[in-house]
Amino acid sequence: MKTKSFLFFAATLFFTACSKNNSNQTPTTSNAYINTNTGSSWTYHQTDSSGATPSNSDYTVTSTSQDSSINGRKYHVYTYSYGGSKYISHTGTDYYEYDSIPVAGNIDRLYLKDNASVGTTWSQTVNLNIPNSPIPSVPVTLSNKVVEKGISRTINGTTYTNVTHVSSSISSSLIPASSFSSSLDGYYAPNYGMIESSVVIKLDYLGLTENVNISTKLTGSSLK
């Protein structure tokens, strides 16, 4: 298996999005874990410690005036300062992010349930078609669990309340659990959405060793 590619594609399940045709915006309420008001923006600091020397970067996400209809579900469109778009849907009490990954196809990823009690779990399985790999299709399961709810969390001097903490993991039936581990955490606050996340994935299989270690924190916002 081409290990580095496998880990990269697994990590993109949490970070990648692509564009679709757009329509008009629908406002949201401030108690939702999302803000769709035009011009709202969020600035994040990201630390990538996957290699020997950590790298740091900052980027901004901005809410547009557009929505997109994808697979019968309405997604609000956000843009990244480094290019590209992000698609988030608030459907009832569920929150989805639309991902389009070349090796996995289109994914409507359910990443948050705002009415779920602590201990609630859900999962989703996708197949990754890894290029130049002896295994043509690798099934990957995303498992999610609400581990904390209604908590306060202070980030960069700002305290957010009523925060929900979702812990996730990635596994594959083709890779022994002793050789593949992951720890993924997302923190979400009303009206802000994601305020912090971390992705740690380690693979030590058939003599191949790789890892992904990325943390992201909200450092500032301007909400409309």
pLDDT in tens, 169-188: 988 888 888 888 889 999 99
Question: What pLDDT is recorded for position 38?
Answer: 97
In this prediction, residue 1 has a pLDDT band, given cuts at 50, 70 and 90, of very low
pTM of the model: 0.86
Asked if residue 106 lies in contact with residue 124, where contact means CB atoms within 8 angstroms, the answer is no
Asked if residue 110 lies in contact with residue 117, where contact means CB atoms within 8 angstroms, the answer is no
Domains of the chain, residue spans: 3-222
Q: What is the pLDDT of residues 159-170, one digit of tens each?
A: 999 999 999 998
Asked if residue 63 lies in contact with residue 38, where contact means CB atoms within 8 angstroms, the answer is yes
Q: What is the pLDDT of residues 3-19, one digit of tens each?
A: 445 555 566 555 543 33
CATH architecture of 3-222: Beta Barrel (2.40)
Distances in Å between the Cα of 51 and the Cα atoms of 47, 169, 208 are 11, 21, 15
The alpha-helical segments, DSSP class H, found in 93-216 are: none
